[in-house]
Copies of this chain bind each other. A is one copy, B any other.
Amino acid sequence: MHRNVFFISDGTGITAESFGQSLLAQFTSPEFRHVTLPYVDTVKKAEQALELIDQSRENGQTQPILFMTVLNEEVSSMMHASGAYVIDLFQAFLPGLERQFGQHPLYQAGQKRSTQSNNSYHRRIEAVQFALDNDDGCRTRSYDKADIILLGVSRSGKTPTCIYLGLQFGIYAANYPITEEDLESGTQLPKSLEPHRHKLFGLTIHPGRLAGIRHERKPNSRYASRQQCQFEVANVEQMYRQERIPSINSTDYSVEEIATRIMALTELERRLK
């Protein structure tokens, strides 16, 4: 027996979805089936949403759960009358904040971005572009401009982490892949990284997991073999210890978690206000 869950918003729905999933993750059962409906900002779209909610109750399903971030008052009332168990994220807190600030909320969707300056928008885009331009160690000359340089063996999660550091925090993150050649000559730091020692941060990963990821790219290759992954991981971890490079094991974390933990561990300052 599963339970139907709706994330409904008159904006992107990203907040409703992300927060709703955090709440649901605190319960081991029932099984949840999710539907996200963004930009429900007119009566017509609200009617379509209500139809989907109604349909989900057929076949003897129990009451659906509805997480909503809806500021449009008409849409909001329609959702409250849907018969679903409604978790209204705005209504729960806006009245309290209204008293705190002594003013009425705007009740306007899409306000979030406008609180951010144009500068902050540019910084994010430039930081993502920096991550792309400085991916996989091709251009070490930009390292002067980098806030951080991630090290790690191939497929240990450097690239997505660099991009997320740019997108979420406006951090200029470069990365340098530690190759087999780097490791064959010993576990000392590659020469080109020496001048940037204070910016280095290492990623590591469980060798079995690494083999699985590499196997999807190049099935049955030497590159994806367990033996090769064990060799590379053992040696790169030895390099981090020997050269005192702070590091994190990415095996059990999502990209968001890896990036946020790096921010916390390095005390890098967020570049977005």
- Which residue numbers of A lie inside 8 Å of B, CB to CB? 3, 11-15, 18-19, 21-30, 34, 36, 38-39, 63, 65, 69, 71, 85, 87, 89-90, 92-94, 96-97, 100-101, 103, 105-108, 110-116, 121-122, 124-126, 128-129, 132, 135, 157, 159-160, 163-164, 167-168, 213, 216, 252-257, 260-261, 263-264, 270, 273
Q: How far is the CA of A273 from the CA of B63 in the complex (A)?
A: 21
Copy count, this protein chain? 2
Query: Considering the complex of A and B, which 7 residue pairs feature the smallest CB-CB distances, nearest first?
Result: A26-B105, A25-B111, A12-B260, A113-B254, A25-B115, A25-B112, A128-B160
Contact status B255-A167, CB under 8 Å:
yes
**Additional 11 contacts, C-beta under 8 A, given A22-B90, A39-B261, A167-B167:** A15-B18, A25-B111, A38-B260, A85-B96, A92-B93, A112-B254, A116-B254, A124-B160, A125-B213, A128-B163, A129-B159
A27 interface neighbour in B29, B90, B103, Cβ under 8 Å: B103
Q: How far is the CA of A122 from the CA of B160 in the complex (A)?
A: 12
A270 interface neighbour in B21, B36, B92, Cβ under 8 Å: B36
Q: Of residues A11, A113, A164, which shows the largest number of chain B Cβ atoms within 10 Å of its Cβ?
A: A113
Q: How far is the CB of A98 from chain B (nearest CB, A)?
A: 8
A157 interface neighbour in B12, B125, B159, Cβ under 8 Å: B125
Q: How far is the CA of A12 from the CA of B71 in the complex (A)?
A: 26
A260/B14 contact (C-beta < 8 A), A101-B29, A112-B21, A128-B163 known: yes
Residues of B within 8 A of A111 (CB): 22, 25-26
Q: How far is the CB of A88 from chain B (nearest CB, A)?
A: 10
Residues of B within 8 A of A106 (CB): 25-28
